[in-house]
Amino acid sequence: MNNLKELKIWYEKLKEGSLDEMDFFYDENVFFKDPFNEIEGRDKLMKIFAHMFETLEKPQFVILDTIENSGSAFLTWDFF
């Protein structure tokens, strides 16, 4: 995983056009869980975020806390 600080900035500035940058932050076999989804695989994660931009006008993440350990990271956020 790249720098956690860079990941935080990516989420806070996330736009549909920046989804291709997901490859820099997430392994091909990423495990992702939020209140609505629990998936494995970067392709599935990309579909979740693409759907988010299709259905919401201006989605925004505000990162509240981050934890990094042994190549893994955990972020908590508010989503608007």
Residue 8 has pLDDT above 70, yes or no: yes
Residue 1 has pLDDT above 80, yes or no: no
**Which pLDDT score, from 0 to 100, does residue 6 have?**
93
Residue 71 has pLDDT above 90, yes or no: no
DSSP states of 7-65 as a string?
HHHHHHT--GGGGGGHHHHS-TT-EEE-SS-EEESHHHHHHHHHHHHHH-SS--EEEEE
Q: pLDDT of 28-58, one tens digit each?
A: 999 999 888 999 999 999 999 999 999 999 9
CA distance 78 to 34: 11
